[in-house]
Amino acid sequence: MQTATAAPSPAPYWLKDTLAPVTAELTSFDLEVEGAIPDELTGLYARNGANPREGHSGHWFLGDGMLHGVSLRGSKAEWYRNRWVRTPRFAGEPVQSPFDIRNSLANTSVVSHAGRILALVENALPMLMGRELETLGFEDYGGKLATSFTAHPKICPATGEMHFFGYALRPPFLTYHVVDADGALRRSVEIPVKGATMVHDFALTRGHLIFMDLPVVFDQALAVRGTMPFAWNDSYGARLGILPRGAGIEALRWVEIEPCYVFHVANAFEAADGSIVVDVAWYDELWRGGPSEVSFEPARLKRWTIAPGASKASEQFLDDRAVEFPRVDDRIVGAPHRFVYAIDAGRPDDGGLVAGGFDTLRKYDTVSGGYQEHVFTGSVPSEFVHVGARDGAAEDDGWLMGFVYDRARAASDFVILDAQNIAAKPVARVRLPGRVPQGFHGNWMADAPA
């Protein structure tokens, strides 16, 4: 008599289709280009994402970090590389403690500041990287940084300062930091939140910091299961902490908002009447009972407006369609913006963001209420970033760039669009030698003038 064998469980969404990890590190030179790369673009575009070395992980957010980069110079795409970030964890070193800020996957973002390229994950120190995506080691600012480092620092275009925070599972739960334009850590301030929540992003204006204290809270049982250790908590509440830049913690005030979760802030600014305006990708709820293995909740573009002295923000949807990865022109971070660029995250019934069920990049005009779209027929875009044509140019005078998976050739392209006319044919399409899995965040890093 034979015993029936149970069918294997299907792979979770983050190990399938366009999110599935790649197994090889590639290097390719003199890449084929369709169209023309603008002469002004000299530098490196790099993007980070989770790519588990062993081919499996407990959640989309828990795979080893892998950078994918394209170097542009002289109107040519001189190379493409993908490299795992060589963290101690990648090397197989045992984890000493869940509170160890060197227990890093370095898998979420990559930024450049003060001549340093940093691979980031929100529970650990930054990893210092070279321009050819080689790992150089941890960056702790001369031993002064004693907390983790968010994957979403804000670089102020007016001062060159980099503002960031670190959150933790034990007190102090949230700490705010400032690194000056020369790369020195100058300020660290504890922010008094109520508990151990997942704080993925924050907002910066020219005059204020806005911290989000939201009801996705640490859950020990989930941590034991090896998945993301956070879940929705109905009793926690939701609020924004408003701190004037340069002020002491006694100036912090809290403003109530409707319960929600936000991974990503598009931008924030001070309006003419003194109100603070914050545009976000807004989830009405996230991870009730813990993260799902089959789907990811949809987010919508929302605006919070905080009037001077108000104890509660007013809330307005800018669009009802599902979106994620909202970005603005980095030259105006913290200042009033008109345009927001975001990826259409698909419909909930097609798997949306995590199933490759979307093909559209959208440019929102927050003044007129209109929008433009670029539809990548038969292809799947990841986050796109805006690169300004030059200092002083109009807000949308420049380019949008990002990776797009081309299903027909089972490989990815690096695509450059005209930011003023995103519906048009790409300015340039760089053919890459392999697939870039859908991942998280990247940035353009212009080379210093010769």
Give 148's Cβ-side CA count (13 Å radius): 29
Cα–Cα distance between 332 and 156 in angstroms, integer? 8
CB 163 within 8 A of CB 204: yes
The conformation of residue 192, written as its DSSP 8-state character, comes to -
Render pLDDT for 56-107 as a digit per residue (tens, 0 to 9): 999 999 999 999 999 999 999 999 999 999 999 999 887 777 789 999 999 9
Residue 345 has what pLDDT? 82
Q: Is residue 337 a known part of a binding site?
A: no
Residue 354 has what pLDDT? 52
Query: Does position 351 have pLDDT exceeding 90, yes or no?
Result: no
Q: Which residues lie closer than 8 Å to 428 by C-beta, 6 or more apart?
A: 33, 34, 35, 36, 37, 38, 415, 416
Cα–Cα distance between 169 and 206 in angstroms, integer? 30
CB 58 within 8 A of CB 226: yes
Q: Which two tokens stand for residue 178?
A: 């400032």
Cα dihedral sign, 223-225-231-233: negative
CB 361 within 8 A of CB 374: yes
Cα separation of the two ends of the chain: 77
Q: Which two tokens stand for residue 330?
A: 């980095």
Q: Which two tokens stand for residue 1?
A: 């008599």
Query: Does position 174 have pLDDT exceeding 70, yes or no?
Result: yes
Q: Which two tokens stand for residue 416?
A: 């450059």
Query: Does position 226 have pLDDT exceeding 90, yes or no?
Result: no
What is the overall mean pLDDT for the chain? 93
Q: Which residues pair with 381 in a beta bridge?
A: 404
Q: Which residue has the higher pLDDT, 169 or 3?
A: 169
Share of the chain above pLDDT 70, in %: 95
Cα–Cα distance between 290 and 387 in angstroms, integer? 37
Render pLDDT for 186-205 as a digit per residue (tens, 0 to 9): 999 999 999 999 999 999 99
The conformation of residue 348, written as its DSSP 8-state character, comes to G
Average pLDDT over residues 47-51: 97
Average pLDDT over residues 141-162: 97
Query: Does position 8 have pLDDT exceeding 70, yes or no?
Result: no
Residue 347 has what pLDDT? 54
Cα–Cα distance between 365 and 286 in angstroms, integer? 27
Query: Does position 302 have pLDDT exceeding 90, yes or no?
Result: yes
Q: Which two tokens stand for residue 30?
A: 């003199």
Render pLDDT for 387-412 as a digit per residue (tens, 0 to 9): 998 777 789 999 999 999 999 999 99
Cα–Cα distance between 254 and 191 in angstroms, integer? 11
Beta strand spans in 284-410 (E): 300-306, 314-327, 339-344, 360-365, 371-375, 379-381, 385-388, 398-406
Q: Is residue 441 a known part of a binding site?
A: yes
Residue 62 has what pLDDT? 92
Q: Is residue 152 a known part of a binding site?
A: yes
Average pLDDT over residues 412-427: 97
Average pLDDT over residues 132-142: 97
Amino acid at 342: A
Residue 348 has what pLDDT? 46
Residue 353 has what pLDDT? 54
Cα–Cα distance between 311 and 256 in angstroms, integer? 6
Residue 357 has what pLDDT? 58
Residue 418 has what pLDDT? 97
Cα–Cα distance between 365 and 319 in angstroms, integer? 11
Under the banding of pLDDT at 50, 70 and 90, the label for residue 349 is very low
Instruction: Kindly tell me the number of DSSP H helices and DSSP E strands found in the chain.
Output: 1, 32
pTM: 0.94
CB 444 within 8 A of CB 402: no
